[in-house]
Amino acid sequence: MRIGNFELRSLFTLAPMAGITDVPFRRLCRQFGAGMTTSEMTTADIRLWQTAKSRHRLDLDHDAEPCSVQIAGADPGRMALAARLCVDRGAQVIDINMGCPAKKVCRRAAGAALLREPRLVSRILAAVVTAVKVPVTLKIRTGWDPGERNGLQIAHIAEDSGIQALAVHGRTGACGYGGHAEFDTVAQIKEELSIPVIANGDITAAEKSLEVLRLSSADGLMIGRAARGQPWIFRELNYFLQNGTHIAPLEKSEVRDTMLAHLNDLYRFYGDATGVRMARKHLGWYCAGLKNAKKFRSQAVRADSAAEQIRLTWDFFGRVASDDILAA
């Protein structure tokens, strides 16, 4: 799959997720085979870029290619300026968020709420594409609500505006993450567009990935929530696609070393205090996929120092006798 001049090494990409896909997590997912990773959603209001949260979100992956940054907003001028500034910082792809269903985003007429205003969508996309010389991509939902699935209309606007790849989550904005993703609209969009179309939503396992590819005819798949606590899902998906069989699960030592490397990367990136807070949720997600990890999870998510989180992780894996540690 190509985006502009970039040939992705895998058709499985990591979905941008606020509060999750920071530099340490993106780096980890690429190590396990993600074809592209994109920054957390960043506001186009550059007046807010001086906050600690925004500064971390704007830290770029200079070792990644392409280096993709996602921006969100509802004002064409601000979006264009934000895109230019991101490119000046080293972004090689600008991704526009029109898929986030979060109320605090939609209340500002941004994210998925923009799908209700096709004319504004057209103005925003034209402004950003004109403002930068790098590929611009777009993430949308199938529509704003089940009674208004206008994803195809928005997709045509995107292609006509110069968008070079389109990711479509198989739910409407109003659906949030409830129910099951549907891919009929994604398939319809793929049939009518010439740019790459990436399907997103409910891709949780290898077999499901092939089912979504069949249902949607998409060029690629975007993995979001399923990567939390199991960044090795990209290793599993790539192997299954290439070989038609499941790769052997990671051994206990590999899971342990992955978790420890992630924790230490978080502490380096954020500093110990914030790093410990960020690590708590990742430890919770890791434990959800580990056998007999209830006690470990209870302790790890309450630990108030980096040393304690590291010690608890070593202790847990030291007590596990079998290499068979990943929950089915």
Active site residues: 100
Category of 202 on φ-ψ map: left (φ > 0), alpha (ψ -120 to 50) or beta: left
Q: How far apart are CA 36 and CA 103, in angstroms?
A: 27
What burial class does residue 63 get, using C-beta atoms within 10 Å of its C-beta: 0-12 exposed, 13-18 middle, 19+ buried?
exposed
DSSP secondary structure, 152-199, as one string: HHHHHHHHHHT--EEEEESS-TTTTT-S----HHHHHHHHH-SS-EEE
Find all residues with CB under 8 Å of 28, minimum gap 6, and list them.
231, 258, 261, 262, 265
